[in-house]
Amino acid sequence: MSGLLALLDDVAGIAKVAAASIDDVAGQAAKAGAKAAGAVIDDAAVTPKYVQGFAPARELPIIWRIAKGSFKNKLLYLLPVALLLSSFAPWAIAPLLMLGGAYLSFEGAEKIAHWLFPHPPDPQEAQAVPQNATHLEEQKASGAIKTDFILSAEIMTIALSEIPHSTIWIDAATLAVVAIGITVLVYGSVALIVKADDVGLLLAERGQFALTRRLGRGVVKAMPGVLKLLVIVGTAAMLWVGGSIVVHGLDQLGFGWPAHRIHDLAVAVAGTVPDPLRGAVRWLTTAAMDGLLGVALGLALIPVATKVLTPVWQRVVAMIPWKKVA
């Protein structure tokens, strides 16, 4: 009997350790996911454009296909790489984060440049032969999954940098929870956004009450503005997070002047408002300064990307022997 009681006590102890580990994983995943907010918002803002122009019946299947590609990107490719970095090259995390921050800054600044100086339509594209729906869907989904890979890499690297190093199993479980949770959040939100106008139209046409029909018409009218606002918020989030990542990375590498100047300025601005507002004002000032740095960095990178990196990449791709011939 005493042996059975001892066994039960051991089982209870293991259960407590497991429960504590689950709590640790959940808590660490929540914190890491919050730090990746900028890339998450941008992911949600970018994805709806990939289903524009398709029949309503194809919108959710396309989103589900992109979501499956996102799961594969995060869990099969990026998670093992993140664990290898954490175990064998933790020194590389900060430079990789800065590279991702520079990419986010470039993407945000490029959107601003396109808004301010829109490019005229390409005559060759206007004369191009229309593609069939299946080929166009394949092309759009593949492009979305490639874009997701870049954003997912940034999300996973940010998450990895925020996780207190533990056993490899706890780190893997935490990253997996972040990957699954963020993917469900992003593509669930995208599905709701994309189908909101269809739901509004259904309410407007078939609502049993005047209030529901009015609500449906309001949703239909509001969705174009909501999509535009989402793009603006996503761009601002990219610039803020990109600039913040670069500033913190420089600080970790021993170049702390930008971080210290931004901190001092935020404290000075917060000191001009009443005490209850100081925390919010300090955060907003820091985010604004990080965002301005992101804009400056991104604008500086646009000519580098368009004049140097893109031509080099196109030449490399053209030299790949196994590239499919159209």
86 within 8 A of 170, measured Cβ to Cβ: no
| pLDDT for position 121 | 60
Dihedral pair phi/psi, residue 117, rounded to 5° = -130, 75
Residues making up the chain, counted from first to last: 326
- Identify whether the C-beta of residue 47 lies closer than 8 Å to the C-beta of residue 144: yes
131: which 2 tokens? 């593609």
pLDDT for residue 293: 94
- Residue 7 domain-assigned? no
For the segment 170-228, what is each residue's pLDDT rounded down to a tens digit? 888 888 888 888 888 888 888 888 888 888 888 888 877 888 888 888 888 888 888 78
- Spatial separation of the C-alpha atoms in residues 111 and 232, rounded to whole Å: 9
Q: Do the domain assignments include residue 255?
A: yes
DSSP 255: -
Is residue 227 situated within a structural domain?
A: yes
pLDDT at 33 over 80: no
8 domain residue, yes or no: no
**What is the spatial distance between Cα 201 and Cα 218, in angstroms, rounded to a whole number?**
9
CA distance 252 to 173: 27
Number of structural domains the chain divides into: 1
CB 75 within 8 A of CB 175: no
- Across residues 145-156, what is the average pLDDT? 80
Considering the chain, what is the average pLDDT of its residues? 77
> pTM here?
0.71
- Confirm if 103 and 150 have CB atoms less than 8 A apart: yes
Which domain, by its residues, includes 201? 24-318
19 belongs to a structural domain: no
46: in domain: yes
Examine residue 17 and state whether it is found in any structural domain, yes or no: no
Proportion of the chain above pLDDT 70, given as a percent: 76
288 lies in some domain:
yes
71 vs 116, higher pLDDT: 71
pLDDT over 90 for what percent of the chain? Answer: 14
